[in-house]
Structure 1
Amino acid sequence: MAAQEIKDAVQAYTGLSPAAAFTVLALMLATYLIVSTLFVAPDAAASAPAAHPQPPQQQKQVTEAEAEAEEPFVPLFPDPVQVGEITLEQLRAYDGKDPAKSILIAIRGQVYDVSRGSCLFSLELRLFYGPQGPYSLFAGRDASRALALMSFDLNDLTGDLEGLSPDELEVLQDWEEKFKERYPVVGHLPCEKGNS
Structure 2
Amino acid sequence: MAFYTSLMDKIPAYTGLSPAAFFTILAMMVAVYLLVCGMFVDPEELKKHEKNLNPVASFPAPNPVELGDMTEEELMTYNGSDSTKPLLMAIKGQIYDVTMSRMFYGPGGPYAMFAGRDASRALALMSFDPKDLTGNIEGLDPSELEVLQDWEYKFMEKYKKVGNLITKKASAEDSTNGDEKDASKEDQAREIQDLSQDLNSSAETQAGKM
| TM-score, length of structure 1 as denominator length | 0.55
Q: Secondary structure at the match of 1:94?
A: coil
1:184 aligns with 2:168: no
Q: Secondary structure at the match of 1:102?
A: coil
Given candidates 124, 131, 134, the residue that maps to 2:107 is 131
Equivalent residue letter for 2:121: R
Cα distance in 1 between the residues matched to 2:70 and 2:76: 10
Matches within 5 A, 1:149-160: 149-160=125-136
Equivalent residue letter for 1:144: S
Cα distance, 1:98–1:168 mapped onto 2, change above 3 Å: same
* Corresponding residue of 1:113: 97
Identity score, percent = 59
Gaps of 5+ in 1: 1-47, 52-73, 117-124
Cα distance in 1 between the residues matched to 2:121 and 2:144: 9
* Corresponding residue of 2:82: 98
Q: Secondary structure at the match of 2:95?
A: strand
* Corresponding residue of 2:68: 84
Equivalent residue letter for 1:182: K
Q: Which structure has the bigger radius of gyration?
A: 2
Q: Secondary structure at the match of 1:140?
A: coil
Report the Cα offset of residue 76 of structure 1: 3.3
1:147 aligns with 2:123: yes
Q: Secondary structure at the match of 1:174?
A: helix
Report the Cα offset of residue 49 of structure 1: 7.6
Gaps of 5+ in 2: 1-41, 46-57, 169-210
Equivalent residue letter for 1:145: R
* Corresponding residue of 2:141: 165
RMSD: 2.2
Greater RCO structure (CA 8 Å; 6+ sep)? 1
Equivalent residue letter for 2:67: V
Name the one with the larger helix percent: 2
Equivalent residue letter for 1:95: N
Cα distance, 1:76–1:100 mapped onto 2, change above 3 Å: farther
Report the Cα offset of residue 50 of structure 1: 5.5
Cα distance, 1:49–1:103 mapped onto 2, change above 3 Å: closer
The answer as to whether partners of 2:80 and 2:115 remain within 8 angstroms in 1 is yes
* Corresponding residue of 1:11: none
Cα distance in 1 between the residues matched to 2:127 and 2:96: 19
The answer as to whether partners of 1:109 and 1:191 remain within 8 angstroms in 2 is no
The answer as to whether partners of 2:118 and 2:133 remain within 8 angstroms in 1 is yes
Cα distance in 1 between the residues matched to 2:112 and 2:141: 26
The answer as to whether partners of 1:112 and 1:184 remain within 8 angstroms in 2 is yes
| TM-score, length of structure 2 as denominator length | 0.51
